[in-house]
Structure 1
Amino acid sequence: MTNTMKRAWAEFVQPILRRPPELQVAALCYRVTPTAEKQVLLITSRGTGRWIVPKGWPMDGKKAAEAALQEAWEEAGVTDCATIEGHVGSYAYDKHLDDGYDAPVEVEVFKVRVKQLADIYPEHDQRTRRWVSPADAAEMVQEPGLKAILLEM
């Protein structure tokens, strides 16, 4: 009887209770060095200090790519002379919420060519940023879907 209840819980009840994923937007910021090497910009998360790309929630009055660019400014200092080059994919992760629960999140990723970074920006004292090769970035991030996008750069 116990195995039957466990199976019913796992296959029927849990899927019904699971929330649909929330949507976030992200900026995959990159530059091309004078030696024609492509580099991507990673930042640290505020909570755990893990390496991520700038991302956040959609914003009223902004298209998804515009919201991603706004997040790139606030979290990494990407100036408004950057160029949005389009949607490059999506990945999923579980976001740990302040109430102690994890929420599934689907992140839509937009490629952004960076021309300049500001020294002072809204979260400059809360994050570290680093330019790295796409292969190195893929080793640094935790989310498998983001790793795959980085390796396709």
Structure 2
Amino acid sequence: MAKELSMTSRVGSDNQRYGPKGERLVAGVVPLSADKTRVLLIQSTHRNGWVLPKGGWELDEATASAAACREAWEEAGIICQVEKDLGHIPDTRPTTAVTKNAPKASYHFFEATVTEERTEWPEKHKRTRQWYAYAQAAQLLNSRPELLEALRRSSVKK
């Protein structure tokens, strides 16, 4: 990552990319240890539980993978190397679960190897991060089908 890492998380949706059906384009990473035995999860800020680093792909970002790496930095304090495109995962929530704060989304996940964990990062004050083996991570992501699918598609040792 050649450019300087910002210690400020991006907020707001002014710069947000949307798909052809008005869905929010979200990019994320499945951050793996170098030996692929563990995955790094972060605490959700919206409800109790653990999630994968992800967030909106913004207009000034050339690629979804660049957005995914920025989100990994802001939310988890990690520098990562994208290894593989895990493809698109649809938002399977029923329409009744879609709200103004959580609009319909299209998820694009990437498998990434964590190359560095920093001690200070933009969202350190509101999130913790924790390494998990596949079985435990899968259990923790169970209530989020799109995150579980991304984990399943990755080459983490199952």
1:30-61 per-residue CA deviation (whole Å, 9 max, x = no partner) reads 113xxx46111110111213211111111223
Please say which of residues 86-95 and 45-54 is displaced more in the overlay. Answer: 86-95
Asked if the contact 1:135–1:150 (Cα under 8 Å) also holds between the matched residues in 2, the reply is no
Aligned match of 1:47: 46
Asked if the contact 2:83–2:111 (Cα under 8 Å) also holds between the matched residues in 1, the reply is yes
Aligned match of 1:106: 106
Q: Output the CA distance in 2 between the equivalents of 1:74 and 1:51.
A: 16
Q: Output the CA distance in 2 between the equivalents of 1:93 and 1:77.
A: 29
Aligned match of 1:146: 147
Q: What is the percentage of aligned positions where both structures have the same residue?
A: 28
Q: Output the CA distance in 2 between the equivalents of 1:40 and 1:130.
A: 8
Aligned match of 1:28: 30
Q: Cα RMSD over matched residues? A: 2.0
Corresponding pairs, count: 127
Q: Compared with structure 1, are the counterparts of its residues 125 and 93 closer, same or farther at alpha carbon in structure 2 (3 Å cutoff)? A: farther
Q: Compared with structure 1, are the counterparts of its residues 71 and 119 closer, same or farther at alpha carbon in structure 2 (3 Å cutoff)? A: same
Aligned ranges 1:43-122 → 2 under 5 Å:
43-62=42-61, 63-79=63-79, 82-91=80-89, 92=91, 94=93, 96-98=99-101, 102-122=102-122
Distance apart, 1:133 and its partner CA: 1.2
**Structure 1 unmatched ranges of 5 or more:** 1-18
Q: Tell which structure's C-alpha radius of gyration is larger.
A: 1
Q: Output the CA distance in 2 between the equivalents of 1:37 and 1:70.
A: 21
Q: Output the CA distance in 1 between the equivalents of 2:99 and 2:134.
A: 26
TM-score, scaled to structure 2: 0.71
Q: Output the CA distance in 2 between the equivalents of 1:122 and 1:96.
A: 26
Distance apart, 1:85 and its partner CA: 1.1
**Structure 2 unmatched ranges of 5 or more:** 1-20
SS at match of 1:42: strand
SS at match of 1:108: strand
Letter in 2 for 1:67: A
Asked if the contact 1:51–1:140 (Cα under 8 Å) also holds between the matched residues in 2, the reply is yes
Greater per-residue helix proportion:
1
